Amino acid sequence: MADVWTDRLSEYLDDELTPAARAALESHLAACPECAATLSELRAVVERARRLPGRPPAADLWPGIETRLAGPRLARSAGPARDVRPARRFAFTAPQLVAAGLALMVMSGGGTWVLLHGGRATSMPPVAASDPAREPARLVNAGVADQRYDEAIADLQQALESGRSQMDPTTIAVLEANLKAIDAAIEQSQRALAQDQENVYLNNHLADARQRKLALLRRATALAGGKT
Amino acid sequence: MEAFALRSPADSVPAAEPIPDVARAAAGDVRAFEDLYRTHLPRVHALVRRMTGGREADEITQDVFVRAWQKLGTFRGDASFSTWLHRLAVNVVIERFRTEQARRARMHDGEEIFETLSAPPQTRDIGIDFEAALEKLPDGAREIFVLHDVEGYKHHEIASLLEISPGTSKAQLHRARMMLRRHLT
Ligand SMILES: [Zn+2]
């Protein structure tokens, strides 16, 4: 039957016991098959909880939600009231950026890249020129000043172009697909920001996309130049 | 190996996180928000259903998404959207049931249910599966189990959300697990 240790098993499982209590419980576990069995059942419960699937409701709840979206939205720190009219959709589709990120992350052994989505571009995409007229009024956490950013991108693009012949074609294809996705994200953020300049999320999103482009180009250039 | 030079957190986009939809929805695009709704509905609805034991889960889920729409402008993108949305859902559920009865009192409800559901294997109702057993747990134990083991909250977070002590949270979690281990099939 349950002993004094049974009620400590969850804490043990969650690593919340003091070292002394932990050691004592471990020596008890070695001698008490019941506690050992209970522990493994509890562990199975925790595992099961982690794997519990999502499940949609029987009815579509969207119509009921959509009719309620016209109400006031919580204002951000400052600025005019938010326009809640449905904005036009942007051409860029969500999965592209995600797919691009995955393409970068997933590689098979031996340094070979796995191309996760199409995009057989044959030339390097043009760097999205930074048009000052379309830049947001304020960049939150941009990290890189606009002009320095543009220069760095141009330098890297040039270095990459000269090292291009030494690169594996698959690598180039992945690189180009990623650059395209990042450029699309940058452009999309800039378009959205034109309508909502102080949106913190959009500003961060833009800054993040630009940083990623820079980081990607830096590494790609190193890769092109460092290949023996 | 050169290729691995490209594999760095700086380049990674959180997997399966539809960032552009969030950006568009934050800018007022209802259709983008609908995409977010469709993507996140199964997990949010399951969370609400488990937290509430099934009561008013549809209605509360709708409240969650309406609230998310209202608050999207305050989403800063420093956590994943899914984490942000789940935390919002938890708050909506807790507010909903923070009614006349003090939550502390609810922690002590349902002793008989524990007795029934914790019964040894030979007498248990084999028809009760894990989700059904979870639904039958007393409110407090069920909420704590869902928050800790399903949603990954820490005891101190749960304690402050539910206005209980961390010790109560730990004890209720253990009771919930002890009961649920009988319904793992
Ligand atoms: Zn024992």
> pLDDT tens, B87-131?
999 999 999 887 645 454 555 555 555 555 555 544 444 446 899
**Selected residue with higher pLDDT from B55 and A181:** B55
A10, A85, A170, A223: best mutation site toward chain B, by most B Cβ within 10 Å? A10
User: What residues in B contact A45, CB-CB < 8 Å?
Assistant: 149, 177, 180-181, 184
Question: What is residue A171's predicted lDDT score, i.e. its pLDDT?
Answer: 63
**At A209, is the pLDDT very low, low, confident or very high (cuts 50, 70, 90)?**
confident
pTM: 0.56
* Residues in contact with A12: Cβ distance below 8 Å, sequence separation at least 6, in sequence order: A22, A25, A39
Instruction: Please say if the pLDDT value at position A20 is more than 70.
Output: yes
Residue labelled with tokens 């006031």:
A72
> CA-CA distances (angstroms) from residue A43 to A36, A47, B77, B167?
11, 6, 34, 20
CA of B123 to the centre of ligand 1 (A): 23
Contact B72, B65 (CB under 8 A): no
pLDDT digits (tens, 9 = 90+) for A81-115: 444 333 333 333 334 434 444 333 333 233 223 23
Of the listed ranges A19-23, A154-158, B56-60, B69-73, the one predicted with least confidence: A154-158
Contact B167, B105 (CB under 8 A): no
Predicted-complex ipTM score: 0.79
**At A72, is the pLDDT very low, low, confident or very high (cuts 50, 70, 90)?**
low
Minimum Cα–Cα distance from A11: chain B residue:
B170
Distance of alpha carbon A85 from alpha carbon A196, whole angstroms: 13
Q: Do B16 and A98 touch (CB under 8 A)?
A: yes
pLDDT digits (tens, 9 = 90+) for B66-86: 999 999 988 887 779 999 999
- CA-based nearest distance B110→chain A, Å: 19
Burial (CB count <10 Å: 0-12, 13-18, 19+), residue A56: middle
Q: Do A7 and B174 touch (CB under 8 A)?
A: yes
- CA-based nearest distance B85→chain A, Å: 14
Show the DSSP H helices in A82-163 as ranges. 94-105, 146-163
Minimum Cα–Cα distance from A185: chain B residue:
B20
Contact A40, A48 (CB under 8 A): no
